[in-house]
Structure 1
Amino acid sequence: MDITRAKLRQAAELMQKHGLDCWIIEFARETGNHSDPLAYLVGAEITWPSAFLLNHDGRSAAIVGSGDKGQIEGLGLWDEVRGYVASPRDELVNVLRAWNPSRIGVTWSDSDAMSDGITYGMYKMLESMLDRTPYKERLVSAGELAGEVRSRKLPDEIETIHSAISFTEQVFQRIATQLKPGLTEIELQKAVQGWIREAGHGFAWEDRINPIIDFGPKSEPLGHSIPGDTKLEPGHLVHVDLGITVDGFSSDLQRTWYVLRNGESEAPDEVKKAFAATLTAIDAGMAVLKPGKAGHEVDAESRRTIMEAGFPEPQFAFGHHVGRVAHDGAGVLGPRWERYGKTPEIPIQADNVFAVEMDLDVPGYGIIGLEEEAVVEETGARFLSSPQRELWLLKSR
């Protein structure tokens, strides 16, 4: 809970910057049945409609069903915990009356999924409970605040992310020992999942496609493919995309190998060209990944190098935040495409942690994918992962 307390303090300190006097961090119900991206600031799941509020001066209040009151008090996170039986309306209004905020932030966003906490139904309930009070008209979006709190990592968060990265890199080393002709994608996936579970760790996204494993050429577009019965053969590229959760924080890394054919001592020229282009794209983006830059500016530098090298324009963003989940919201290092909403415009800040990536299809051989993790510091970005700087070669026997 120490990180949660620190994040609540961080949030209170940022509220003035975002023009908010009070933040209704979570207004939700039955969070055990559907997750709320702001639950990490609450500390527990709740059943009845509940409100968790933070004032700009650091005071906090939780309004929960009587059955949840004991567990929320036991967390020691909230200055006051108010229980109710029939409705949270009176307690909610009493807290707002005591604090008298002019602008009340509610966690919703039309661009950032990880800052879009309140459901439409709960927002309508909130409006109903504040009907005939001055507070209903004071509700505004707290999406930008929620995004900044999530994306500006504290030192303990960065340290734990690094632990997840380190374990993931150990798994990649172990994967290399298993890569022999005849092995299938699904066999490798099952083995990797067994290692992760044996270590007591979790998966940064659904295990059905974690890790993503691609042996050899693919007929479908680049993407989140399901490992199948394809057997590894000489002349195949091996692409693995793996994310592991350690102590509540995640990694997201990609690595690539090439299986040498008989008589080969190095990869074919077209494979080497694609790997070099991928590496150049990573380096170009990293060179401009600095505080104050917008995400689309970083993406543009990486994207430009790929197209100048003669490859098709990438159909995905160069990077994304990593933290409690692999795709941690709050901004994207991507182009100004409608699907990304306003997130490519969000300025990069110190203490952001990003996954930066590039993937290329090499016809006849398979997929080359590199993905690293980096922390943004005052003067630029620094790798948290140990970057793959050369194509790893495997002997076929």
Structure 2
Amino acid sequence: MRLSLIAPLLCALAVPAMAFDQGREVPGGDAVLAPRERVAVENRILAERFETLLPRLMAETRIDLWLVLSREYAEDPVYFTLVPQPSHAARRTTLLAFHRKADGSVDRLVVNRYPLGEPYTSVWSGGDLDAQWKALGKLIADRDPQRIGINTSRQWPVADGLSHALHQRLVEVLPEGYASRLVSAEDLVVRWIETRSATEKAVYPQVVALARGVISEAFSTRVITPGVTTTDDVAWYIRQRFESLGLPAWFQPDVNFQRQGQACERDSDFCGAEGVILPGDVLHTDVGFCYLKLCTDTQEMGYVPRLGEDDVPAGLKAALATGNRWQDLLTSQFRTGRTGSEVLAATRTASEKAGIVSRTYTHPLGFFGHSVGPTIGMWDDQSGRTDGGQWPLHPDTAYAIEGNAKAQVPEWGGQWVQIKLEQSALFDGRRVQYLAGRQTRWHVVR
């Protein structure tokens, strides 16, 4: 990797990091780039991905020419991961072509009324739609690729972005006999979406730390007044806090509580309720936002002390430790080449052997919150037969280590409590590392 490409980018990100106070993350200054400043960073990351990842991934998936064809406001899901910023749409019709040459390098070409500029080379610009499509046909004839990848897929929605109408137009302008060269580019799309570059791996910890810091704020007396504040109040605080930093939430935050005397069964799918937060409540939140095109998905637990309590009850501390033990059992099963279903099966076996009541529903992270790659269980399906379960693990891929473990709490008369955890992590091909640590101690609202 060229140092000249990476060094300016890391310098641009040399902003105050999160400060750590006894295991709880708190904001340590304004660590978020302004929207204008993000453009250069995102474009350098894109250039790096084109230089270091795309040639290798096209060779791995045996695609000679990859076509990503989009119309304005009907963009292919992968489109915005491929174009420089600022960009709001595939203006009119934008035809992207990536040609893998004999020397292994990849030409990045655009056939578009409005040229994209670097890192693309424009091979046609103008206003006539028919001429635009004919120019694409000529490009294909001139390059003479044997395997032309198009974004069609029965399994992966993200890899199924080629519309029926654009497919028809493509077939119309292909040279004679070339239609048989069209192949699904789904493997290439998944590998492109799931693989993280060197700089993305360097940046991702700070992105995740921002999420954990906002949760720490939310689960404190800065936000919660027991007996007054509702779970919905906290959820909206989290969303508005992200928005104040210019960080779009990719789903509405969820906040709920478990309470002594409110049943949580051993085999319940979900334990939790919404409403006014009271002393003695166990809190849970699920939040996610995207920054520098990288998405987070985080779940953590909090406790609201009762009058006279100086600490979290020992039974709840033990329950969180059980959740951490489940995480360890799961991440120890990650092996390059193992499928998601194989990791799930091994985790279930290890959890049962350890006497842990758990469910595993871990998914890839990256350009999308629920991204593509190995599916390691679903909250409502632990069979391993779900879509994505047969996709193998690859190095340099990120995951939301998500699931729950249940434990009985003596202080609550043996009532079950569900510990719902989700932390962002990177698999480097050998081990799983949490991008910004993980919760091992309760957030305490005080």
Q: Is the 8 A contact 1:36 1:117 kept in 2?
A: yes
Give the match for residue 219 of structure 2.
176
* 1:125-144 pair list within 5 angstroms: 125-130=169-174, 133-144=176-187
Shift of 1:274: 4.5
Give the Cα separation in 2 of the matches to 1:267 and 1:35: 51
* 1:70-149 pair list within 5 angstroms: 72=116, 75-84=117-126, 85-87=128-130, 88-130=132-174, 133-149=176-192
Give the Cα separation in 2 of the matches to 1:47 and 1:86: 12
* 1:226-237 pair list within 5 angstroms: 230-237=275-282
Q: Is the 8 A contact 2:257 2:281 kept in 1?
A: yes
Q: What are structure 1's unaligned runs of at least 5 residues? A: none
Shift of 1:268: 7.0
Give the Cα separation in 2 of the matches to 1:94 and 1:6: 29
Give the Cα separation in 2 of the matches to 1:146 and 1:21: 14
SS in 1 for 2:438: coil
Give the Cα separation in 2 of the matches to 1:330 and 1:224: 29
Give the match for residue 39 of structure 1.
80
2:325 is the counterpart of 1:280: yes
Give the Cα separation in 1 of the matches to 2:137 and 2:178: 8
SS in 1 for 2:125: strand
Cα 1:306/1:95, change in 2 over 3 Å = same
CA RMSD of aligned residues (A): 2.9
Shift of 1:139: 0.4
Q: Is the 8 A contact 1:319 1:332 kept in 2?
A: yes
Give the match for residue 212 of structure 1.
254
Q: Deviations over 1:98-117 (max 9, x none)?
A: 11001101122222233232
Q: What are structure 2's unaligned runs of at least 5 residues? A: 1-42, 409-414
Moved more, 241-250 or 326-335: 326-335
2:164 is the counterpart of 1:164: no
SS in 2 for 1:51: strand
Q: Is the 8 A contact 1:355 1:374 kept in 2?
A: yes
Shift of 1:142: 0.8
Cα 1:305/1:257, change in 2 over 3 Å = farther
Give the paired residue count: 375
Give the Cα separation in 2 of the matches to 1:160 and 1:212: 26
Percent same amino acid among aligned pairs?
20
Q: Deviations over 1:150-200 (max 9, x none)?
A: 211001112232221111121122122234412101111222222222222
Give the match for residue 200 of structure 1.
246
Give the match for residue 198 of structure 2.
155
Q: Is the 8 A contact 2:298 2:422 kept in 1?
A: yes
Task: Tell me the amino acid that sits aligned with residue 111 of structure 2.
Answer: I
* 1:1-397 pair list within 5 angstroms: 1-9=43-51, 10-24=53-67, 26-30=68-72, 32=73, 36-43=77-84, 44=87, 45-57=89-101, 58-64=106-112, 66=113, 68-69=114-115, 72=116, 75-84=117-126, 85-87=128-130, 88-130=132-174, 133-177=176-220, 178-182=223-227, 183-203=229-249, 205-206=250-251, 209=252, 211-216=253-258, 230-262=275-307, 266-267=312-313, 269=315, 271=316, 274-308=319-353, 314=359, 317-334=360-377, 337-338=384-385, 340-341=386-387, 343-360=388-405, 367-394=418-445
Give TM-score scaled by structure 2 length. 0.75
SS in 2 for 1:16: helix
Q: Is the 8 A contact 2:326 2:405 kept in 1?
A: no
Give TM-score scaled by structure 1 length. 0.84
